[in-house]
Amino acid sequence: MKLIVTNHSNSALDLRIIPVIEDFFQEIMKEKLPDLTLSTAIFSGKKDSTYLFQQEDTLILLVGLGKSPESESIEKSFRRILSKQADLITIAVKIDFAQAFNAIQVEAALVGFQLGGYSLDFFKRAEDKKKDFSKLSCEVSSVLENLELIMTRAHEIAKAKIEAFRLVDLPPNVLTPEYLSNWATKLSETLDLKVTVFDSKKAKEEGLEAFLAVGRGSAKEPKFIILNYTHPEAKFHLGLVGKGVTFDTGGLNVKTQGMVHMKSDMGGAATVLAATQLIAALKLPINLTTIVPAVENAIDKDAYLPSEVIQSHAGLSIEVIDTDAEGRLILADGLSYLVKNYNPDQIIDFATLTGSSVGTFGYECGALFSNSEKLGLQLQTAGMESGEKVWPLPMWESYRKEMDSEIADIKNYHGKPIAGAITAAKFLEAFIHEHPNWAHLDIAGVAYGDSEFSKTKTGTAFGVQLLLKFIENQL
């Protein structure tokens, strides 16, 4: 989709979209449609309301956003247009913003509008696919002086979020560890990024034993992916780690329900990869190291066993209590490798890690754990501002003893139906080499789920805009 700045009318338009904030209803109508008399009983800009009518050869769509709309709400309202009213557009469309709209609101609307063109119909026959909006021209009118910059940002944000959607939504016979490594390599060819990928042999040489143990039962080769982005005027160095389990059977502790959704167990990887794409595309003045340990947790004669003791990059031995607690094992090696080889100023990992976090927060927010009060507050603030909310849970040392093992340095699961998300976080903490600025985001309930835009569960791109807001709040 191409966004074009315009301040004139275009007779070739199919559709002119006018967003309306309820508190500014009269002002917006007078500014944009001075000759139209419209009863507030029909339309007044209330949230989630629309009004469609024809004016000469152009359809006019009024989109109600409510009294004080937040970015997340605006994005969703505009995503509905292409997603649910695609037949209104065949040639071109214009989004006509009134003076009442600020830069944040305009950006959210433009992001949402582009997201509306995303569809899950990857493998449908051509005649059954939804309308393709990739070549659609979208004119944008606003009095904002920095409109072109806003449009560029909105385009890159939407591209990154769509990539995160797609990575989670692709089936596991396509989205494999090798696919993720190839994706990262192709990204490095178009953006200023350096990519390094370890195969099993190289991972063995690097001591990534916990990572390799999880991948042992799969015919698909595990890939340890490292992306580096540097900026000459970097303000700080951020490290990201994303859980990349491309499919999770549970291993020999096989899952008894919900396995059909386990293609989403690389939601953390999708977040950090898409965020890396966005950071590099926007040329943000930071240094960034992103690590994705990518594996498939499958079952065969070589699969790792419950009660095995395995080694790790950090030098800690791990007693495997449950092979379905595999995500923390690959994250442990990813975190340890990141600290030992790059030592960034801040470390954040994203993972669809525990059902316990879903039991605590449902599908409203991610669980936040941090050993730094400042870092935790920065992430919490960014989450509220972006609409991708995270909320803290305690990291008290008393929970650490739950992970004590009689035979090894630590065990990967405490085996109790309590404090599952917290004890998983305490496990990960053992592998950060006492780094003082680390945060773990358990996004099991928010990375993949039901929405109004699909009949099945889909990826959400949760965390991409949170990270953007987190970074820009520090610049």
Angle at 265 between CA 261 and CA 268, to 5 degrees: 140
Contact of 326 with 297, CB cutoff 8 Å = yes
Residue 196 exposure: Cα atoms within 13 Å on the Cβ side: 10
How far apart (Å, rounded) are the C-alpha atoms in residues 403 and 427? 7
Which backbone phi and psi does 417 adopt, to 5 degrees?
-85, 35
How far apart (Å, rounded) are the C-alpha atoms in residues 386 and 120? 25
Strand partners, 367: 391, 442
Total residues belonging to the chain: 475
Of the candidates 367, 363, 338, the residue with the CA atom closest to the CA atom of residue 433: 338
Q: Is 153 a catalytic residue?
A: no
Spot the catalytic one: 130, 255, 400, 457: 255
Q: Is 469 a catalytic residue?
A: no
Contact of 446 with 267, CB cutoff 8 Å = no
3-state secondary structure 361-426: HCCCCEEEEECCHHHHHHHHHHHHHHCCCEEECCCCHHHHHHHCCCCCCEECCCCCCCCHHHHHHH
Spot the catalytic one: 328, 389, 411, 469: 328
Contact of 38 with 26, CB cutoff 8 Å = no
Strand partners, 307: none
How far apart (Å, rounded) are the C-alpha atoms in residues 318 and 303? 16
**Integer angstrom CA distances of residue 169 from 61, 244, 294:** 31, 14, 16
Residues with catalytic roles: 255, 328
